[in-house]
Structure 1
Amino acid sequence: MATRVTSFIRKYSDVLLALPAVLWLLIFFIMPLIIVAVISMMTRDVNGIAQFPLTFDNYERVFQVYDSVLIRSVRIAFVATIICLVVGYPLAFFIKTRQNAWVRNLGLFLVILPFWTNFLVRTYAWRVLLGPEGTINTFLMNTGILNQPLEILYTETGVMLGLVYGFLPFMVLPIYASVERFDFKYVEAARDLGSNDWQTFWRVVLPLTMPGVIAGCILVFIPAIGAYVTPDLLGGTRGLMIGNLIQRQYNGNTPNLPVGAALSMVMMGAVMISLLVYARFAGRTR
């Protein structure tokens, strides 16, 4: 008996090792995703609860009624990702190229330092900074730069600033890892062959650090497009994003579970498209 058990374990060792992870994904990811997909095609009763029959009317409503929110969510997430890239790339390079190891470690420490504070608390701090009587407007008005406060809070600009602040480390760290693996002898070789700094960057440095750039963009864009706390606290109605819309469909005064599920599936589709783009570009850069 013991021999049979041992033989079975050896024969199917790979399957047995993968079984816990497969069961975990099946129970906590695949099955809930199927349930949400089914609910997204159901109809709504008078209490907002999902019921049969199945229909695609919810998706039609999502793209006809909430199209502006979907476009705004993609736009804000995209712009926030670009800003994080523009700020994060030179910052990662600056930290890595410091000769003193203590300075490099200090730079990385400052990048990850915000994670030591609760995200909600940090977002509330931005309300203090961006408000009409906040720190930024008070400084600008006291110095005579402005005569009236800037309208930043409860706008798309406020949401973008909050998202950039919250997700910038997710851009810096992957790029830093790529720069750390980069051999700077290629830069010397390019200069010996007559390339100027601009040509060296575009033809040598950027292509070889592109895996970190792509990974950073994905790590910023995916959570940014589904952000809930930041647009809720800093955006108000003018900065409403798909995450806030989903929350209102589930917990609002007039809940609509099927529409909320349809919005969730649409956001999941956007995330999957982002991952497919990442896989395609990551394969090219190897």
Structure 2
Amino acid sequence: MELPLTLQSYKRFFGFGTFGFDPLYPLILLRSLALALATTLLCIAAGLPLAFYLAGLPRRYKTLGLTLVVIPLWTNLLIRTYAWQILLAPESSLAKAAVLLGLAARGDGLYPGTFAVYLGMFCDYLPFLVLPLYASVEKIDWLLADAAKDLGADSKRVFFHALLPQIIPGLTAGIILVFIPAAGQFVIPDLLGGAKTVMLGNAIQQQFGPSRDWPFGSAITVISMLMVLAGLWAYARASAKKGEVL
């Protein structure tokens, strides 16, 4: 069988099919990017205070704290995801608490659904942001913060002008480590979100699996790789201008 070189699969991905415009795959792309962005923001919101807390621990407790952060990574992703299915099932304590708080209907679990997907993504990728961020926080020159306070800066200005610029390299590395794999994640959305939560990774798996449409699956894969390379190129350019090395 001969497969001619054509851009038809790329046009189809962006919605320009044989029968007119179809927003299915553009919406999947936007949904995947939105999920990756939300996961990254949640990890930043939780990872920043956690990294500062770990860095402020006495030396004898830091190893224990870092170990607790990475312990979830000692188990397989599938095992962790199946564990969330049990924890969020209708008969679980979390689901019953959600019913009492009015967050879920009686008899309904917290999975499958969007909440389960976001929770699973957040817990799975949080260590990837905390670890590089912690490395940057450990190197902070606190004399700059003291100098800013002596000059009359409040806590907000001290953080944004004296501390944040020093942890930008670790924060940026953490964002890359979270956003890029989260955009292509398919196991967590598939197992915790059900058929209603189709992401870019699920679309690729579908084309190489049941659909057997390898040219289209390859096109989606190439587009995903180009997005990753574009993000890394933008970061490399920004780092080169600042004289930083990842």
Q: Normalization by structure 1: what TM-score?
A: 0.77
Q: Where do 1:257-272 residues align within 5 Å?
A: 257-272=214-229
1:281 aligns with 2:232: no
Letter in 2 for 1:171: L
Matched residue count? 233
Distance 1:278-1:157 versus aligned 2 partners, 3 A rule: farther
Q: Is the 8 A contact 2:10 2:219 kept in 1?
A: yes
Whole-Å separation in 1 of the counterparts to 2:3 and 2:219: 15
1:155 aligns with 2:113: yes
Q: CA deviation at 1:159?
A: 1.4
When Rg is computed on C-alpha atoms for both structures, the one with the higher figure is 1
Q: Corresponding residue for 1:209?
A: 167
1:133 aligns with 2:91: yes
Letter in 2 for 1:272: L
Q: Is the 8 A contact 2:91 2:109 kept in 1?
A: no
Q: Corresponding residue for 2:39?
A: 80
Q: What per-residue deviation string (whole Å, max 9, x for no partner) do you get for residues 208-264 of structure 1?
A: 100011000000011111112111101112221111111110111x31000000010
Letter in 2 for 1:76: L
Secondary structure, in 3 states, of the residue corresponding to 2:90?
Answer: coil
Q: Is the 8 A contact 1:156 1:238 kept in 2?
A: no
Q: Where do 1:152-231 residues align within 5 Å?
A: 152-231=110-189
Q: CA deviation at 1:169?
A: 0.3
Structure 1 stretches of 5 or more lacking a match?
1-49
Letter in 2 for 1:153: Y
Whole-Å separation in 2 of the counterparts to 1:88 and 1:238: 29
Structure of greater relative contact order (alpha carbons < 8 Å, 6+ residues apart):
1
Q: CA deviation at 1:151?
A: 5.9
Letter in 2 for 1:97: G
Whole-Å separation in 2 of the counterparts to 1:245 and 1:183: 46
Whole-Å separation in 1 of the counterparts to 2:118 and 2:70: 20
Secondary structure, in 3 states, of the residue corresponding to 1:137?
Answer: helix
Q: Is the 8 A contact 1:226 1:241 kept in 2?
A: yes
Q: What per-residue deviation string (whole Å, max 9, x for no partner) do you get for residues 79-136 of structure 1?
A: 10110011101100111012x2122222111101111111110111111122333331
Whole-Å separation in 2 of the counterparts to 1:190 and 1:278: 29
Secondary structure, in 3 states, of the residue corresponding to 1:187?
Answer: helix
Q: CA RMSD in A?
A: 1.7
Q: Normalization by structure 2: what TM-score?
A: 0.89
Letter in 1 for 2:33: V
Q: Corresponding residue for 1:106?
A: 64
Q: Is the 8 A contact 1:76 1:156 kept in 2?
A: no
- Please, which moves more after superposition, 146-155 or 179-188? 146-155
Letter in 1 for 2:223: V
Q: Corresponding residue for 1:118?
A: 76
Whole-Å separation in 1 of the counterparts to 2:166 and 2:231: 21
Q: CA deviation at 1:284?
A: 4.5
Report percent identity of matched pairs.
40
Q: Is the 8 A contact 1:249 1:259 kept in 2?
A: yes
Distance 1:87-1:284 versus aligned 2 partners, 3 A rule: farther
Structure 2 stretches of 5 or more lacking a match?
16-23
Tell me which of 11, 14, 25 is aligned to 1:63.
14
Q: Is the 8 A contact 1:72 1:241 kept in 2?
A: yes
Q: Corresponding residue for 1:41?
A: none
Letter in 2 for 1:77: A
Whole-Å separation in 2 of the counterparts to 1:85 and 1:113: 19
Q: Is the 8 A contact 1:156 1:239 kept in 2?
A: yes
Q: CA deviation at 1:58?
A: 0.3
